[in-house]
Amino acid sequence: MDLTALAGHRFAQCQWSFEAERVSALNQAIGMPPNCSPPPTLAYSADMDRGVVEQLFTLTGLKAHQLLHGEQHFHYHQALQPSHVYRSSAHLSEVINKPRFSLLHKQTRLFAADGSLACEMLSIYVAVPQPGAPNAGPTLDTHDSPARIAPEISREQIQAFASASGDHNRVHLEPAIAQKAGHPDVFAQGMLGMGLLGSLLPGSRLRRFGVRFLSPIALGDHPRLYLSGSTRRNLILANENNRIRLRGYAELD
């Protein structure tokens, strides 16, 4: 499947805003108190609310089990504020064909009402026409204690995160779709895992935050969240069997 012709595709610009209630719901979905500051993954909901992933299905002709989220990166220029209206501009900046899959680089920018840049996002999606067995994930070799142990991943949490974030990708919500991608059941959104890692970071100092999704966060996983470094921090989410699910970084002021 050659998808390189999609490079340069621009999604229709739109306005986006959020309310404080949504911040509370997102925090609760990742096991944080509802009155915490907005999670650093909040801006991703701008893409979800405009249906970017659904539009990618249409553009590529692929189904939910054939388009996977490979990486997510944020560059923050200013804090997002409830009830403020932002202009969202998104396009496919690059499409890279590989023998078994293609990589779609989608870039989104959020602009404040005065035209200043608020946030930049790079989402890398993996188009796999014939999905294989899910990756078990590399093994974490450490004697360090995790910075936080999150509660067991449940079906209810996955649904709560979908409702709060707008990430209603059916591969995470419908067992029959997940099974087409080789999974025994639904599995957590990668952005749920990124939100868990983001709970370790001081939002007021955060400038960049990115992750690679290395293996699926399965139902029943007990996420262990690891943090190291000072100004540049290294982040890992692994399960109770030391299988790495996400590996990330954060850059602070």
How many Cβ atoms sit within 10 Å of the Cβ of residue 109? 19
Q: What percent of the chain has pLDDT over 90?
A: 94
Return d(Cα 108, Cα 50) in angstroms, integer.
Answer: 12
Residue 99's contacts (CB-CB under 8 Å, 6 or more residues apart) are none
Q: And the tokens for 239?
A: 């399960």
Task: Tell me the pLDDT tens digit for each residue of 51-65.
Answer: 999 999 999 999 999
Q: What angle do CA 170, 171, 176 make, to 5 degrees?
A: 95
Enter the pTM of the model.
0.96
How many Cβ atoms sit within 10 Å of the Cβ of residue 4? 11
CB 162 within 8 A of CB 45: no
Task: Compute CA distances 204 → 29, 77, 89, 230, whole Å.
Answer: 21, 11, 24, 15
**Residue given tokens 């087409």 in the structure block:** 180
Segment (H or E) for 228: strand 224-229
Q: What pLDDT sits at residue 132? A: 86
List of the chain residues with pLDDT < 70: none
In 3D, which of 172, 154, 182, 210 has the Cα closest to residue 53? 172
**Residue given tokens 């991608």 in the structure block:** 181
DSSP 194: H
Q: What pLDDT sits at residue 139? A: 98
Task: Compute CA distances 136 → 194, 216, 246, whole Å.
Answer: 18, 8, 12
**CATH class, range 4-252:** alpha beta
Return d(Cα 151, Cα 149) in angstroms, integer.
Answer: 7
Helices 20-29 & 190-198, crossing angle to 10 degrees?
A: 100
Residue 51's contacts (CB-CB under 8 Å, 6 or more residues apart) are none
Q: What pLDDT sits at residue 50? A: 94
CB 91 within 8 A of CB 116: no
